[in-house]
Structure 1
């Protein structure tokens, strides 16, 4: 390939991050040249503060919450840590018996790692709740765990939608996580990073006490997100300093990023239904055609339809290593991801698939294709054209 030619890239990893949308990019660049700390009292500081508060109001309107409930953070990981640690420390300070933290075995590591850290360093008793073969929380197990000793539960954290297999969790609604936990006065946190912009997402209507969202999954910039937390929910701060963001998240607010975040969230919520229909059409076409040409491939997670994120296709290819598939596709200009982690160059099975009942081999042979606002039918065509020779090469290498 000559230096003047570039291979077409088919980007199918929007669940990892998605390109910035025009409205967010415009808001970001418009404020990059502004001067003024949003905590300063002079005119430039007040103007910066105005941008921050108008952005907070925009996000609150989009997410069905009060502006004062939006706490800006550096992204989803910080927001999850603030929710899990902040609520645990606060609830345990009120009552030392509250040492149990209940979450699912398929959470993102931004929840699982702080939860396990609390178990190792802060006296928490961690309970990982089981899921079924489609990756959906066992509500009976949640109910039984709480009712065994409700007074000892500090919090429950259950993601809105799984980042690997796309399965939606029964967070709100009748007999959902919130109803079960609130019957005993237990607060609920949900990581809604993957759900925002793909499915209807309302904070007040859901009943959750804290909800994590981030910018770069919906066409905003990296490094900015929010924990939406009810005003009556007590949180212990992770970091201390100037007392910005309700005195639970100190640090100078990134005005351009916040403005861009708000623009992206507003657009994502406004066009959610249209976007969901677009990516679901592409996703369904990809799944159908891949299963036709690779008959022993299979879909992980909930069936295609309302119980699953519309842009998620998580496919297993027996007899392959996911990493090999990924790199072979990458060489053909197709970018996707595996659900497994890599430690020291050795592929590790996906904790999500293991929790769903897959064995270690099956938990390493999968690829996640995720669609976004820039996805087109040409992306699907490229995968279908490449997948048979890629699977054949990966199987030959595996043997």
Structure 2
């Protein structure tokens, strides 16, 4: 099986597994316990938290102290931001039309409770259009949430420009950066966001842990209660082992990025070029191609081919890819992201997502292109 569904999850790096194995043996103590072993585990947890913040470009000086709240993953971190951030508890919420379900469905819940939700549109390349944002922010606003890079198309969003508008209006901006970490340089302070979500299983770390990074100026209201851990913003016994795995995965992701980022982009471009040659330029659409994209993500449409039939055929052919967000993979509904882009129905219904990692090789990409081509041509004849 050739695995090219890395936007869903990535294989754990050997170094991460080793670090976690050692932690399970020596740092299994409850970090809230008062005995020496528990306090040692607590210090190790704090070390991991500080390392992660520093690697992400957060401020950890005595003049400004950004914070990191460990969660169970990206979905919880996004929910925590949508429900917990903002001084205007009754104000509107603004999201983009292409957010991950953990943001868009959280916004739906806020709307069901009587809140007002506004949605920023995107253009045909999937880039958020924010011309109306400054005018919208005249109204009391709890939070604006726009992702860094789309999980389906890889298209990058104008976060710094949006952050500047939010900052002028003193409205917190949350950024879902889950797909960007480890693929492009991400500096929390340079983004200008108030909060940022990430999770290490997207960059060869463990599942079951994520984080919400918070600017030192924002307040987070908890969604859970029953403990004083993490300043009561997210109570519950922390997993030191998962935090150590998180830390090691992020270290490796950033260390390898100067080489891995360009390599993933070269492989993605190679895949798209091979498929265009093998299938024909008139039979394929590279979605978001004309916009800046994450280097590892390709959303490819074959008009006239059913996307689910193609993914199943590829699975039988030994290629693991997807039709879009893993959180919606059990659904036969068309992609809200591609609909928001205004793409033709034939493109939407015929699109698949191929996502690479720093472990993907050129021979694998060549074989994936060959197998996709064979499956598409077979389905075209059926």
User: Shorter chain as normaliser: what TM range?
Assistant: over 0.9
Distance, in Å, in 1 between the alignment partners of 2:184 and 2:148 is 10
- For residues 235-260 of structure 1, the C-alpha deviation after alignment (integer angstroms, 9 at most, x for no partner) is 11010111211211001001100000
Distance, in Å, in 2 between the alignment partners of 1:342 and 1:350 is 12
- For residues 253-283 of structure 1, the C-alpha deviation after alignment (integer angstroms, 9 at most, x for no partner) is 0110000000101111222221111111111
| Structure 2 residue aligned with 1:145 | 136
| Structure 1 residue aligned with 2:49 | 56
- For residues 55-103 of structure 1, the C-alpha deviation after alignment (integer angstroms, 9 at most, x for no partner) is 0111011001145511111110010000010015x421xxx4x2x1111
| Structure 1 residue aligned with 2:38 | 45
**Do residues 171 (structure 1) and 143 (structure 2) align?**
no
| Structure 2 residue aligned with 1:334 | 319
Distance, in Å, in 2 between the alignment partners of 1:351 and 1:31 is 41
Please tell me whether the aligned partners of residues 198 and 273 of structure 1 are also in contact (alpha carbons under 8 angstroms): no
| Structure 2 residue aligned with 1:74 | 72
- For residues 176-227 of structure 1, the C-alpha deviation after alignment (integer angstroms, 9 at most, x for no partner) is 0001111111110000000001111001111100000001001110011100
Please tell me whether the aligned partners of residues 321 and 365 of structure 1 are also in contact (alpha carbons under 8 angstroms): yes
Alignment of 1:127-146 (within 5 A): 127-146=118-137
User: Structure 2 residue aligned with 1:299, among 275, 286, 297?
Assistant: 286
Q: What secondary structure sits across from 1:246 in the alignment?
A: helix
Distance, in Å, in 1 between the alignment partners of 2:224 and 2:118 is 26
Distance, in Å, in 1 between the alignment partners of 2:145 and 2:363 is 38
Number of equivalences: 374
Alignment of 1:1-399 (within 5 A): 9-34=1-26, 35-66=28-59, 69-88=67-86, 90-92=87-89, 96=90, 98=91, 100-121=92-113, 123-146=114-137, 150-172=138-160, 176-295=161-280, 296-303=283-290, 307-339=292-324, 347-397=332-382
Shift of the 222–313 alpha-carbon distance from structure 1 to 2, 3 Å rule, reads: same
Distance, in Å, in 2 between the alignment partners of 1:381 and 1:222 is 29
Please tell me whether the aligned partners of residues 11 and 334 of structure 1 are also in contact (alpha carbons under 8 angstroms): yes
Please tell me whether the aligned partners of residues 135 and 302 of structure 1 are also in contact (alpha carbons under 8 angstroms): no
Q: Which runs of 5+ in 2 are unaligned?
A: 61-65
Distance, in Å, in 2 between the alignment partners of 1:81 and 1:343 is 17
Shift of 1:141: 3.0
Q: Which runs of 5+ in 1 are unaligned?
A: 1-8
Q: What secondary structure sits across from 2:313 in the alignment?
A: helix
| Structure 2 residue aligned with 1:5 | none
Please tell me whether the aligned partners of residues 28 and 256 of structure 1 are also in contact (alpha carbons under 8 angstroms): yes
Shift of the 292–163 alpha-carbon distance from structure 1 to 2, 3 Å rule, reads: same
Distance, in Å, in 2 between the alignment partners of 1:366 and 1:387 is 12
Distance, in Å, in 2 between the alignment partners of 1:341 and 1:66 is 33
CA RMSD of the aligned region, Å? 1.8
Please tell me whether the aligned partners of residues 334 and 382 of structure 1 are also in contact (alpha carbons under 8 angstroms): no
Shift of the 311–341 alpha-carbon distance from structure 1 to 2, 3 Å rule, reads: closer
Please tell me whether the aligned partners of residues 168 and 308 of structure 1 are also in contact (alpha carbons under 8 angstroms): yes
Q: What secondary structure sits across from 2:216 in the alignment?
A: coil
Shift of 1:10: 0.8
Distance, in Å, in 2 between the alignment partners of 1:270 and 1:60 is 15
Please tell me whether the aligned partners of residues 8 and 326 of structure 2 are also in contact (alpha carbons under 8 angstroms): no
| Structure 2 residue aligned with 1:3 | none
Shift of 1:372: 0.3
